[in-house]
Structure 1
Amino acid sequence: MPDVSSADPTPPGYFAESARPLVSLVFVVPMLIIYEVGVFALGPQAIRNGVDVWLRELLIVIGFGQYFLLPLLTCCCLLAWHHLKEQPWRISPGVLPLMLLESAVLGLILLGLAHWQASLLKAEIAAESTSTLPSETIRQLIAYFGAGIYEELLFRLMLIPILWQAAIFMGMPKPAATAIAILGSSLIFSAAHYDFFTSAGEAFQWYSFLFRCSAGLIFGLLFTFRGFGVAAGTHALYDVFVALV
């Protein structure tokens, strides 16, 4: 991932700055607020992201059940990452609209890939629910912002470094370790959507498994080379496009 030393007085270009953890945090905070406030306001009617549920259950098991602790920890992870990289604590406001535009374009490209892959396998692309009621659409959109953040948090921000370190420990060169970490996280990301992985998952289908694995590879590459913010934004906006198109 691009890294710019805090001692470098030269302002970084868009691709370097947008990959910074601090910039990623500022970029995803609106999505985080939409999801957390939306779920809190909807109460039992809300659609919770599965990873959100898993992470909260883990926190409850270890004795931390406060509602807003998970989003707070998400912010702290990105702040700690930024601190460890010793990058400057400044943000150019103009970078955030460009990140939104980049995420939207990438989300549309991913949507096109989904339809192309579906045509090859004679499958259908559909949103998680077929309901067209406005209230149901709002519930779905709120959930998709949660998916963009928390699925990227678990499967990319947490899992890729763990798999990378494991591969390095086994003596693999860094490029191979990076490839294995991205591929491994993509396979686990795809499998996590099915009933053989979790009781709340859907029935297994080869088409959806292969597409989700392909999407996981794309998200993994985006996380590695474009940062957490663009990966989360692309993920969330792809889900939104699927629901709206």
Structure 2
Amino acid sequence: MANSPYLRDSRSPRYTILFAVPLLLGYEALALLLQDAGGGVRNGADVLLKSLFITMGGAHGLLVFNLVLAVAGGWLVVRDWRTHPGALRPRVFAGMLAESAGLALLVGVVVGYATNLLLQRLAIGPMGSLDLPTQLMISLGAGIYEELLFRVLLVGSLAAVGVNLLRWTTRTAGITAAIVGALIFSAFHYIGPYGDPLEAGSFIFR
């Protein structure tokens, strides 16, 4: 099972990055349409990342961000393609879609059940009052920008600091980075006008 071609391919950059491209385009398209319709809500991680580039690059900051994202993603895909040459297999994308849908359904049921159990203890922020297209847009953005910001950049950087500067073992650095990253990720949901009211129960749930 560990040597399954599907497991190997579905975790390679050329498949994972290309699989994420429609999600990114869907998020940006929805955000643009909703903005034109009078809405101005975006995913918080998206706003934070782009704001950093705008602060550093001024009027060209957003263009630089998009170029960095495209070049970095393209470089990873090309490097993987050169290392493992061969045509893309549509059935791998189909399997990834089925796997994602199955996991989303399973996790959705579990989280929904847990939410019902904890509902009296959780403070629900104003996000639930948004319309369905806006919630869909924010969810798509979470799958791209929150993963990029927290799982890739933050956790990766913390692990690198632990290994290279603090001389921790890879396992210790990885576990510590994951825990610290999870705490910061949870705290992120209480920032801004659409953040949840800060309570211990909802913080742990996040």
Smaller-chain TM-score bracket: 0.7 to 0.9
Q: 1:205 to 1:152 in 2, by over 3 A?
A: same
| SS class of match (2:189) | coil
> Do residues 49 (structure 1) and 43 (structure 2) align?
yes
Deviations 1:8-44 (A, max 9, x none): xxxx611111111121111011111111122122224
| SS class of match (2:57) | coil
| Structure 1 residue 173 displacement after superposition | 1.4
2:20 aligned partner, one-letter code: V
TM-score w.r.t. the length of structure 2 is: 0.80
> Do residues 176 (structure 1) and 162 (structure 2) align?
no
**1:186 counterpart residue number:** 182
**2:128 counterpart residue number:** 129
Q: 1:146 to 1:119 in 2, by over 3 A?
A: closer
Moved more, 79-88 or 156-165: 79-88
Q: C-alpha distance in 1, partners of 2:116/2:134? A: 29
How many residues in Structure 1 have an aligned counterpart in Structure 2?
Answer: 197
Q: 1:84 to 1:65 in 2, by over 3 A?
A: farther
| Structure 1 residue 186 displacement after superposition | 1.2
| Structure 1 residue 147 displacement after superposition | 1.3
Q: C-alpha distance in 2, partners of 1:122/1:141? A: 22
Q: Of residues 104, 108, 133 in structure 1, which corresponds to 2:101?
A: 104
**1:206 counterpart residue number:** 200
**1:20 counterpart residue number:** 12
Q: Of residues 32, 36, 40 in structure 1, which corresponds to 2:28?
A: 36
> Do residues 162 (structure 1) and 160 (structure 2) align?
no
Q: 1:188 to 1:111 in 2, by over 3 A?
A: same
* Structure with greater Cα Rg: 2
RMSD, matched Cα: 2.9
Q: Conserved in 2, the CA contact under 8 Å of 1:155 and 1:189?
A: yes
Q: Conserved in 1, the CA contact under 8 Å of 2:123 and 2:196?
A: no
Unpaired runs of 5+ residues, structure 2, are: none
| Structure 1 residue 113 displacement after superposition | 3.1
Q: Flag as ranges the 4+ runs of structure 1 deviating above 6 A.
A: 124-127
Q: C-alpha distance in 1, partners of 2:123/2:179? A: 23
Whose helix proportion is higher, 1 or 2?
2
Q: 1:160 to 1:84 in 2, by over 3 A?
A: farther
| SS class of match (2:127) | coil
1:194 aligned partner, one-letter code: Y
Q: Which has the higher contact order (CA 8 A, sep 6+)?
A: 1
| Structure 1 residue 121 displacement after superposition | 3.8
Please give the residue correspondences for 1:223-242 in structure 2 after superposition, counting only pairs within 5 Å: none
**2:88 counterpart residue number:** 91
**1:75 counterpart residue number:** 70
TM-score w.r.t. the length of structure 1 is: 0.69
| Structure 1 residue 72 displacement after superposition | 4.2
Q: 1:42 to 1:115 in 2, by over 3 A?
A: closer
